[in-house]
Amino acid sequence: MSVSSEGTKKLRTTAQKFCQAFLSPPAPEELLSTYFTSSPKITEHGPSWANERLPFLGKTFTGTEECVSYFTLLSEVLEVQLPCDAFPESKDGYVVDVDADGGKGVVSVKAKGRFVSKKTGKGWDEEFAYRLSGFDDDGKIGWWEIWADPLSAWVAVGGD
């Protein structure tokens, strides 16, 4: 097995296990210690003007403590409902580039779920994407980026 294919397998395996963990999510601290480097980063992309109602959007949470606060903020605003098929089952659903990010590797994956505003009870179904990057030599994730539907979230939580 070549170094590249070994690296691809390692990153894909980490990504698959990380995603599957969300189907029965552990505490944020456990999730971070299991799948992330000691200096994790989480960014859920979205407009900074939405922070008033969606405080987890549009900023990068850096370090374990801040990343735990990402989960806290998210869970205070939204209920996340992921079906058993939220993430791809086949390895082809995880796009791996071991050479990207300066050789640290990147994995991209598309998923689906339902999100419900805890304030209004309004919910919506959506597809979203994860970009996992900054992997260390053990295959742990350095940076988790999320692209979702901030406009639907804004409307559901009571935006105009």
Evaluate if residue 25 carries a pLDDT over 80.
Answer: yes
Q: Who wins on pLDDT, 60 or 159?
A: 60
pLDDT level of residue 121 (50, 70, 90 thresholds): very high
Q: How far apart are CA 56 and CA 44, in angstroms?
A: 7
User: Token pair of 58, please?
Assistant: 């549009």
Rounded mean pLDDT, 22-43: 97
How far apart CA 61 and CA 70 sit, in angstroms, is 7
Chain Cα centroid distance, residue 149: 13
- Give the dihedral sign, CA 127/34/37/102: negative
Instruction: Tell whether the model's pLDDT for residue 75 goes beyond 80.
Output: yes
Q: Which domain holds residue 73?
A: 3-156
> β-strands 36-45, 141-147: how paired?
parallel
Q: What is the pLDDT of residue 22?
A: 94
Domain at 139, CATH number: 3.10.450.50
Q: What is the chain's Cα-based Rg?
A: 16
Report how many domains make up the chain.
1
pLDDT at site 160: 54
Task: Please give the average per-residue pLDDT across 17-26, as a whole number.
Answer: 95
Closest CA to 45 of 114, 142, 123, 143: 143
